[in-house]
Chain A
Amino acid sequence: AQSVSQHNHHVILSEAASLELGCNYSYGGTVNLFWYVQYPGQHLQLLLKYFSGDPLVKGIKGFEAEFIKSKFSFNLRKPSVQWSDTAEYFCAVNGRMDSSYKLIFGSGTRLLVRP
């Protein structure tokens, strides 16, 4: 079955700490991968995406993610978090051959950054 797993449900960090959020997927085929962020009370915004090419992708606000095909992983990283990064983060996948383009989401990781 197609699924996305985010193993860290809640993460608490102090400002300037480094961040890594895990994402693993199960999908029978070539995939596109996404990270979305949802700030408190807001809608989801695209943080970064991977379609093909360089497996290390850079997104907005200093975030990056690395696609490791052999591990079916797409972990999100940021070298130094800020209080304003407090949000919920969702990993998502869709199949490159799926003409519906529908996304399968992980259950999300809530990040709290303490000033």
Chain B
Amino acid sequence: DAGITQSPRHKVTETGTPVTLRCHQTENHRYMYWYRQDPGHGLRLIHYSYGVKDTDKGEVSDGYSVSRSKTEDFLLTLESATSSQTSVYFCAISTTPPGVEQYFGPGTRLTVT
């Protein structure tokens, strides 16, 4: 367990509303990631961060933005939620060489109605 928490754990929101999900880690890892999990697709990377204020896009970044103003917090924002963004969102951290492993948070189940 890498000390990763996510909030909220469950959220229902309406189409068109903004939504922010928070990921918090306690172990000062430099690399953090946001994935979404959908049936039949496994996990797909949305955005990742390699340091404070350093972020980059993943394979499914459209409609999402991120921010990292502190090492411990990585925020994912849906500016205007759509039904296609209904999913389970996982935050992860990565350790760095020589042992590169990712550890995942408990997830946030988001439903957009």
Contacts and interface: CB of A to CB of B under 8 A. Distances in A.
A102 B100 contact: no
Contacts of A49: 101
A43 B45 contact: no
Interface stretch (A62-70, A79-87, A105-113): A105-113
B56 A100 contact: yes
B101 A90 contact: no
Chain B binding surface SS class = strand
A103 B101 CA distance: 10
B56 A103 contact: no
Contacts, number: 53
Given A90-B43, A106-B42, A107-B41, A100 B48 contact: yes
B31 A100 contact: yes
Interface in A33-61: 34, 36, 42-46, 49, 51
B104 A44 contact: yes
Interface of A: 4, 6, 9, 32, 34, 36, 42-46, 49, 51, 90, 94, 99-108
5 pairs of A and B residues whose beta carbons are closest in the complex = A105-B42, A101-B94, A44-B104, A107-B42, A105-B43
